[in-house]
Chains A and B, each alone.
Chain A
Amino acid sequence: MTTTPERSGPVPLGVPAPGAFDAHHPPSAELVSDCVHCGFCLTTCPTYTLWGEEMDSPRGRIYLMKSGLEGEPMTDSMVQHFDACLGCMACVTACPSGVQYDKLIEATRAQVERNHTRTPKDRALRTAIFALFPHKRRLRALRAYQRTGMPALVRRTGLLERFAPKLAMMASLAPPPPDKREPIPARTPAVGRRRAVVGLLTGCVQGEFFPGVNAATVRVLAAEGCDVIVPQAQGCCGALSVHNGRDEEAKRFARRTVDAFEAAGVDAVVVNAAGCGSSMKEYALLLADDPAYAQRVEAFAARVRDVSEILAELGSVAPRHPLEVSVAYHDACHLAHAQGVRAQPRALLREIPGLELREIAESAICCGSAGIWNVLNPEPARELGDRKAANIAATGASLLVTANPGCLMQVAASLQRRGARIGMAHTVEVLDASIRGLPPSALGVP
């Protein structure tokens, strides 16, 4: 039988086509071949939703990887479509064939970072982001600057928007600094009978922008019978780096995190930021080539839990006080799609007397935050954010609950633009308020 031949293989130049990828962990041809091109992934892909074009869909990106493996060079246009992927993993949930797009895009991003030269402007921005975000002290310095009143002045003049729209986006996303920081002790004993000893990752963005979430996490875990250890040696988990192909940097962060929590000797490593938890569960893949860590990291990864997971596993013992509030629960992509954690936070919220849970339409579609994607792609991020905000507003709920600092910042900005009056909180803050018997107003519910 004859079939339609490849009509557009590599351009015959008389030399072998180099292909897009080097030999160090290219996207796996076997995983690429799992895709049957059915298109079921298109519906919930945020970029396909925005632009309706094949190359900005999961199926199209896999096709680009395949072309790259078959000899197509890594062109600017190819990279542009890999870069445009938010990494939300909605496609992994949607795929009936079980295509592991998460592994494919991660391998591809590392290849892009190694083999593609970005424009000087793009390079500078990325360098700036990675010089700032994974470092708590530097983030703290940014917060200090925010407190001076300078930002308002800069915003009013519109100078920032004109000269650095991406930096303006970053500045607009950061919530106002809290009035007071609650110190997080290195060890908090369980209330009542001890049921587990857990370590808490305090995170960089979570810790600096939403310190209240960490404090609430500690209180809720303790109330549910956990000794909570906060290893002081911990730093960034490396999630932002790994999701942006910064392989070596990610590995450094991962090793340090593993070391810190191993030394603490905890039963579980609890994470309250979806992006961090998802990366830490995948450390085994990241450090597979490191003989000093390959074995240890598997045991580590198996102990990582999102805070809602461990609370659901333990089952609640602390009494809940009524909280009369309607809640729209937003699935953070790295919790729902990447970790498959959907039922637990909902179940925990439903346990609270008086709380009414509402679902948000198009819940599978990303809000546009996606790590640093909204900083790198402010316009489409704003479109996605506005779409999400409209769906949230349509629920009529008075409190938005989600489990990721990035989503909170992104959605807050969009809701603000709409002039929507709605409180925002992390799942664990709602549990904390209920356990402590606080009123809805404590969560900013208008």
Chain B
Amino acid sequence: MGGTHGTETTAGPVLGPVSPEETGATGEAGGNPEAMAAVTRAVRAVLPANAVVSDRIELRTYECDGLAHYRVTPALVVLPQTTEQLAAVVRACAEHGVPFVARGSGTGLSGGALPRADGVLVVTSRMRTIHEIRPADQRAVVDPGVLNLDVTHAATPTGYYYAPDPSSQQICSIGGNLAENSGGAHCLKYGFTTNHVLGAEFVTPQGEVVQLGGLAPDAPGYDLLGAVVGSEGTLGIATRAVVKLTRLPQEVRTLLAGFASTDDAGAATSAIIGAGIVPAAIEMMDALAIEAAEAATHCDYPAGAGAVLVVELDGPAVEVEHEFAQVERTCREHGAFALRVATDATERALIWKGRKSAFAAVGRISPDYIVQDGVIPRTALPGVLRAIAELSASSGVRVANVFHAGDGNLHPLVLFDDAVEGAGKAAEEVSGAILDLCIGSGGSITGEHGVGIDKAAYMPKMFSDEDLDTMQLVRCAFDPDGIANPGKVFPTPRLCGEVPGKKRGAPHPLVAAGKAEAF
């Protein structure tokens, strides 16, 4: 089995004490057929025939997102083209108490868009109009299905671009980025999605269309937009986004440095930032990750390197030149044995190609792998990397490291062969232990892939019950009926019974079945 492409195998990320299925997080197939039938009728009345998918074979192609290990066939898939259509779908769901899950391009790595077997999957891939590019205002207004890189393509002729750059930027959508608060290599300097979204047209779980924020920065009142960005589809669906455009830098310089070990590369990273330089990006790859990238893209990284750093500086030419010299010196002082400077866009693209395709490329050196995503304080890098290496050595499970070193955002890739008895389980244990290492170092269980279904069970390791209850209050304020992507982010699906507002007669079936608690 390649990568995390799921089958009936048991390979996959650690689920913690309770699996999503046991919690009822993904719904029961055929559950509540009358409500589903009513919703289907309602959406067929407002959407064109080709925008409603109910054929079983076709539904199955929506079973998973970029985390293919978890698979659930949705009861219905809809592909609205307008805000009105999307809102009508959500209203139908609200009216009949049917859960819905939003999906953009389906590239998420935490199963955030994993469908509900008893719900509607709302896919925004046909909402892909770029409404406005306003370079003078540094704004773009786009549909949620517009691809991240397409915003940059549209803005580049005017001298601007869209800064957040997840590795999947060629295909991931702005709506998905907004839901996941996506990051990327250059977020070290430019910040995450939340720093680049100024407004959104938003469909609430009741199907109302509201405006959050706007073209101007920092709207008065509560920062509801701030709550929505990164809420992983649990508060509603963005149907339009106002994003900030960033001026194309006058100068970009990219350096590829080869080191003997990740210790050296990690120390160089801390030294660069310690010197007061904020590069646009500092990315690290270890020997195994380099091997995979070479196999996939022939990126020509230095032979024999135990680790490489990709350091990119951008900004005014004078500043970049000065700092670049300092970065080169710092790398050499920390043992860099090979330095390559990209002199043009083609060479820069080749350096980045190796890095950006690394996840998928790992499929070339291992039949299966788990992509982990954790954050640690930057200074803890050498120690944690050493601990991961020890874990790997003692367990015999290979771990490739590709990550945003500048942010301390680790992406260990835990390799295994599912055809080998017990290999999947061993890999899961290593993957889980890595997260424990992150938490133990004062870090977090996810840097940018989100919690989704994959890490919901890990939330109690980071947060107390009180913390989680407080977050739940926010969710209930938006979605008292719990129909917006239920079962994601929080370890146990909780309902909002105690929250003032609508309360329906009979206890919720999940409560009755003992699978959820009323909150």
Question: Residues of A at under 8 Å CB distance from B?
Answer: 1-8, 33-40, 42-43, 51-55, 60, 63-64, 67, 70, 72, 75, 77-78, 81, 95-98
Contacts and interface: CB of A to CB of B under 8 A. Distances in A.
B21 A72 contact: no
A3 B7 CA distance: 10
B416 interface: no
Contacts of B470: none
B182 to A, nearest CB: 14
Contacts of B105: 39, 42
14 contacts: A3-B21, A3-B69, A8-B59, A37-B66, A38-B168, A52-B128, A63-B63, A67-B60, A77-B57, A81-B58, A96-B360, A97-B2, A97-B3, A98-B295
B379 interface: no
Given A6-B71, A63-B61, A36 B4 contact: yes
Nearest to A11: B56
A54 B19 CA distance: 27
Contacts of A4: 19-21, 26, 70-72, 114
Contacts of A8: 29, 56, 59-60, 63, 72-73, 117
A10 to B, nearest CB: 10
B348 interface: no
Most buried by B among A8, A35, A64: A8
B338 interface: no
A109 to B, nearest CB: 17
B423 interface: no
B62 A54 contact: yes
A244 to B, nearest CB: 22
Interface in B385-439: 425, 428
B19 A39 contact: no
Contacts of A64: 57, 60-61
Interface string B13-30: 011000111100010010
Given A33-B5, A53-B123, 16 more contacts: A1-B425, A3-B70, A4-B26, A4-B71, A8-B29, A8-B72, A37-B4, A40-B170, A52-B128, A53-B125, A63-B60, A64-B57, A72-B60, A96-B296, A96-B297, A97-B2
Contacts of A6: 8, 71
A51 to B, nearest CB: 8
B12 interface: yes
Contacts of A2: 15, 19, 21-22
Contacts of B364: 97-98
B106 A34 contact: no
Contacts of B55: 75, 77
B168 A37 contact: no
Given A6-B71, A43-B171, A54-B61, A1 B14 contact: yes
B145 interface: yes
B64 interface: yes
B363 to A, nearest CB: 4
Interface residues of B, number: 68
Nearest to A68: B57
Given A7-B29, A36-B360, A53 B53 contact: yes
Interface in B358-378: 359-361, 363-364, 367
Interface string B42-77: 000000001001011111111111101111110000
Contact of B10 (A1, A35, A36): A1
A384 to B, nearest CB: 16
B147 interface: yes
Contacts of A53: 53, 79, 123, 125-126
Nearest to A97: B363
Most buried by A among B4, B57, B367: B57
Contacts of B117: 7-8
A63 to B, nearest CB: 5
B357 interface: yes
B19 A38 contact: no
A36 B428 contact: no
A55 B61 contact: yes
A98 B293 CA distance: 12
B1 interface: yes
Nearest to A8: B73
Contacts of A35: 2-3, 5
Nearest to A31: B2
A444 B21 CA distance: 66
B363 A78 contact: no
Nearest to B369: A36
Contacts of B10: 1, 3
B127 to A, nearest CB: 9
Contacts of B50: 51
Contact of B57 (A75, A95, A98): A75
Interface in B122-171: 123, 125-126, 128, 145, 147, 149, 168, 170-171
A28 B50 CA distance: 31
Chain B CB within 10 Å, residue with most, of A4, A53, A77:
A4
A37 B68 contact: yes
A67 B128 contact: no
